[in-house]
Amino acid sequence: MRYRLLSTLVAAATVAAVETATETYEYVVVGSGPGGGPLACDLARAGYKTLLIEAGGDEGDNPTYSELGNFLEAANDEATRWDFWVKHSDDPKRELEFKHMTWDTGDGTFYVGLNPPAGAKQLGIQYPRAAVLGGCAMHNGGVCSLPQDEDWNLIVNATGDTSWEASKMRQYLKKIEKNDYLPSGNAAHGYTGWLSTSTGDASWAKNDSLPATKILKKMAELTGQNPADVASLANSDILGAYDNKDDITSFYNMVQHADKNGKRSSPNNYVRATLADPKKYPLTLKLHTLATKVLFANATAAGGLPRAIGVEVMEGASLYRADPKHVPGTKGNTTQILASREVIVSGGAFNSPQLLKLSGIGPAAELQKFGIPVIKDLLGVGEKLADNYEGSLLGLATEPIQGAGLITMMFRTPSAPTKKRNIFTWCGVLSFEGFWPGFPTDYGPHEYECAMVHIGPKSQAGSVRLLSADPQDVPDINFRFYEHNGDVDLHELVEGGKLLREAWQAAGAPTLPFNELHPCPGTAAGANCSDAAQAESYKTQAYSHHATSTCAIGGDKDPMAVLDSKFRVRGVVGLRVVDASSFPVVPGAFPSLPTMMISTKAAEDIIADAQKAG
């Protein structure tokens, strides 16, 4: 398949000149997504003069972004899209088995597939990120779920900081949430925060004649739930406070960060509300500003440790080469901005480690390779890249499935190593097979899919590494899927797919038989598809969009720890990282909400330190 390469413009290059720093703030926050946006607002609302830097623009009034239902269009939109072309392994042959491998044909088009035209340049596997006020919370599907309790508690175990205990972390959900789907007064939820949460209509599950309801009941039977209760189970609160919640297999009503009218709720709303508030909070926003380096000075008061004193930025739109609108050779004016208290980096799992390395913080050998002076040798920067494995069961029904609502379930497969559930699935008349230019494929009204997110992947071997010292360059990103204990994870995915396939057979006529497209092409019930064949499909066609852990929190004795439990970068002063890269592991099934929660926690930590310092 061919797709248009966007904005293939040619213009003369401009040369950047470094200007003297003219602005000083107490805090400078780099990145306005789920980590940085709320944090900047909280600091400003506490009275601290705060600058929020965002490389993209503001699309908050654009229906493509403000209407959550347009999320597929938003993720494809060149107005905000940064294209990272990633690898899933170190094996070139395996990479070429990914059916949505993307190529630059050289004539202004992309080719997506396994048989590129002669002379096409292999780009990689598309991993779009959003350069826009609000970050990736502006182009995602808005799915909200909570980490497993052990994802919080492992930080306690590693650092001794009991403020991370799972029982204490719900307070941050309650603080940011404006619940639109439950009556007020539910002690597990918040009702006055900045983040609206809502659910869809699950009343379809009351109609026993629908094929989707028959599938739902069979899923209940196969997972130990009562088929007679599916109408109420399908409306369960996925963010509820349940005893031993991570051991519970159950249907849920999917929660999204949107209001009850379908308007996306994100850090964009919080930033705009803070800027417009009559109280005139001291928040400044700089859009189209690419942070290129954190600035340091030696501070004897800090025991001789280097102190972050500001950032160097390049001003202008589409300066980063991941931007499809970038014009080769274009640079912006370079300016230095000072921070009297701290710099907070919130660029996400790809850009935060890149910025740290460009600033001299990271593995010394890697920095020296590109002539970057070493401020602090930190081995873990850019390492331990983690992500959920995602796969799906996709087929075409004999007749379109009428009246099908969205089925959401979290369940445990038989071989899971603990009692914890390990699969998050959602099923419906949809098609989602990962990312490529122009995704997804529309298979028409007969399509039906159960998409799966694997919770708690065993391997964490990915990396984000520099290709140059040029801040406009995109780093080398390799997830190294299934590098460790891959057979275990693949077996769990196969078990999940087999359970869902069996449930499909309950749909009855005229829906049956399904013509399965993957992982077992052409089989009605997977009868002629071995477990090994299914595992190979999940291995070569896995996709993901929940990158985390490249600047991970860890204990004092962990040589790979980048941050302490207060998000402070080890070995320097005045610098923190607050975003999805901070998590030691992927937090559950979807990291957007957990990242907004830790943003609020980080604000508390930073304000507490500021009050002590005076």
Instruction: Lowest mean pLDDT of 71-80, 296-305, 429-438, 457-466, name the range.
Output: 296-305
What pLDDT, on a 0 to 100 scale, did the predictor assign at position 108?
87
Residue 441 domain flag: yes
Tokens representing 326 are 């970038």
What pLDDT, on a 0 to 100 scale, did the predictor assign at position 299?
54
Predicted confidence (pLDDT) at residue 1 exceeds the cutoff of 50 = no
Percent pLDDT > 90 in the chain is 93
What pLDDT, on a 0 to 100 scale, did the predictor assign at position 13?
29
384 near 586, Cβ under 8 Å?
no
Predicted confidence (pLDDT) at residue 21 exceeds the cutoff of 90 = no
Residue 502 domain flag: yes
What pLDDT, on a 0 to 100 scale, did the predictor assign at position 22?
74
What is the arithmetic mean of pLDDT over 543-556? 97
Phi, psi of 199 (to 5 degrees): -130, 170
Q: Is 86 labelled a binding residue?
A: no
What pLDDT, on a 0 to 100 scale, did the predictor assign at position 195?
98
Q: Report how far residue 230's alpha carbon sits from residue 213's, in angstroms, rounded to the nearest whole number.
A: 8
Predicted confidence (pLDDT) at residue 525 exceeds the cutoff of 70 = no
Q: Report how far residue 64's alpha carbon sits from residue 54's, in angstroms, rounded to the nearest whole number.
A: 19
Q: Which DSSP state fits 356?
A: H
Predicted confidence (pLDDT) at residue 41 exceeds the cutoff of 50 = yes
Q: Is 294 labelled a binding residue?
A: no
Residue with tokens 């096409």: 120
Which bin fits 537, alpha (ψ -120 to 50), beta or left (φ > 0)? Answer: alpha
Q: Is 156 labelled a binding residue?
A: no
Beta bridge partners of 573: 307
Domain, as residue range, for 420: 182-263+387-540
What is the arithmetic mean of pLDDT over 544-554? 98
pTM for the model stands at 0.95
The overall average pLDDT reported for the chain is: 94
Q: Is 142 labelled a binding residue?
A: yes
What pLDDT, on a 0 to 100 scale, did the predictor assign at position 11?
30
Sign of the C-alpha dihedral computed for residues 562, 378, 574 and 592 taken in this order: negative
Nearest to 575 by CA among 27, 21, 66, 193: 27
Q: What is the per-residue DSSP string for 243-278? A: TTGGG--EEEBPEESB-TTSBB-SHHHHHHHHHH-T
Residue 503 domain flag: yes
Residue 533 domain flag: yes
Q: Report how far residue 221's alpha carbon sits from residue 24's, in angstroms, rounded to the nearest whole number.
A: 62
Nearest to 386 by CA among 161, 600, 582: 582
User: 20 to each of 25, 237, 298, 551, how far by Cα in Å?
Assistant: 15, 53, 19, 30
Q: Is 30 labelled a binding residue?
A: no
List strand residue ranges (DSSP E) for 288-399, in order.
289-298, 306-315, 333-345, 361-362, 376-377, 383-385, 390-396
With 0-12 / 13-18 / 19 or more C-beta atoms within 10 angstroms meaning exposed / middle / buried, residue 473 is middle
What is the arithmetic mean of pLDDT over 189-205? 97
Which amino acid, 466?
Answer: L
Q: Report how far residue 352's alpha carbon sits from residue 337's, in angstroms, rounded to the nearest whole number.
A: 18
Domains: count for the chain: 1
The stretches of 63-127 forming alpha helices (DSSP H) are 63-66, 71-76, 92-95
What is the arithmetic mean of pLDDT over 343-365? 98
Sign of the C-alpha dihedral computed for residues 150, 154, 156 and 160 taken in this order: positive
Tokens representing 312 are 């160097």
pLDDT digits (tens, 9 = 90+) for 52-62: 999 999 999 99
pLDDT digits (tens, 9 = 90+) for 469-521: 999 999 999 999 999 999 999 999 999 999 999 999 999 999 999 999 999 99
Residue 477 domain flag: yes
3-class DSSP assignment, residue 2? strand
Distance, CA of 373 to chain centre: 31
Nearest to 52 by CA among 65, 63, 39, 64: 39
Residue 174 domain flag: no
Which bin fits 460, alpha (ψ -120 to 50), beta or left (φ > 0)? Answer: beta
Residue 235 domain flag: yes
pLDDT band at 14 (very low <50, low <70, confident <90, very high): very low
What is the arithmetic mean of pLDDT over 137-141? 98
Which amino acid, 73?
Answer: E
Three-point CA angle 477, 122, 126, nearest 5°: 50
Q: Indicate the length of the chain as a whole number.
A: 614
Q: Which residues contact 300 (CB under 8 A, 6 or more apart)?
A: none
Which CATH number characterizes residue 431's domain? 3.30.560.10
What pLDDT, on a 0 to 100 scale, did the predictor assign at position 3?
35
Tokens representing 188 are 């597990």
pLDDT band at 17 (very low <50, low <70, confident <90, very high): very low
What is the arithmetic mean of pLDDT over 533-556? 97
pLDDT band at 362 (very low <50, low <70, confident <90, very high): very high
Q: Report how far residue 584's alpha carbon sits from residue 587's, in angstroms, rounded to the nearest whole number.
A: 8
Which amino acid, 377?
Answer: D
Tokens representing 568 are 């402070």
pLDDT band at 302 (very low <50, low <70, confident <90, very high): low
What pLDDT, on a 0 to 100 scale, did the predictor assign at position 304?
80
3-class DSSP assignment, residue 183? coil
What pLDDT, on a 0 to 100 scale, did the predictor assign at position 402?
87
Q: Report how far residue 495's alpha carbon sits from residue 543's, in angstroms, rounded to the nearest whole number.
A: 18
Residue 481 domain flag: yes
User: 132 to each of 195, 281, 540, how far by Cα in Å?
Assistant: 18, 22, 31
pLDDT band at 528 (very low <50, low <70, confident <90, very high): confident
Nearest to 407 by CA among 311, 278, 272, 507: 507
pLDDT digits (tens, 9 = 90+) for 220-232: 999 999 999 999 9
Predicted confidence (pLDDT) at residue 590 exceeds the cutoff of 80 = yes
Sign of the C-alpha dihedral computed for residues 479, 483, 488 and 491 taken in this order: positive
